[in-house]
């Protein structure tokens, strides 16, 4: 549902038609899906965080190696 534009259009149509009970059902299904996949979701977030930390370290190293003025960075 999250990455599905067609699915999002269906949700939008349901909201516009006032079909809130359908929306509640879909939100419950999404909640269940998230709960069932928390281990994978958590690992994915953790991996992305580690990648960003590494990118930051790499950027810092680039700044340090590019410092040709001899000033402490």
pTM: 0.47
Cα separation, 35 vs 42, whole angstroms = 11
Say if residues 73 and 67 touch (Cβ distance below 8 Å): yes
pLDDT digit string (tens) for 37-64? Answer: 998 889 999 999 999 999 988 888 787 7
Say if residues 25 and 18 touch (Cβ distance below 8 Å): no
pLDDT band, very low/low/confident/very high, at 1 (cuts 50, 70, 90): very low
């Amino acid at each position: 549902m999250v990455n599905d534009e067609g699915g999002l259009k269906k949700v939008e149509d349901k909201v516009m038609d006032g079909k809130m009970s359908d929306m509640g059902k879909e939100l419950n299904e999404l909640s269940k899906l998230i709960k069932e996949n928390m281990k994978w979701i958590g690992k994915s977030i953790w991996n992305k965080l580690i990648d960003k930390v590494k990118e930051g370290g790499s950027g810092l190293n680039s700044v340090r190696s590019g410092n040709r003025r001899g000033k402490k960075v």
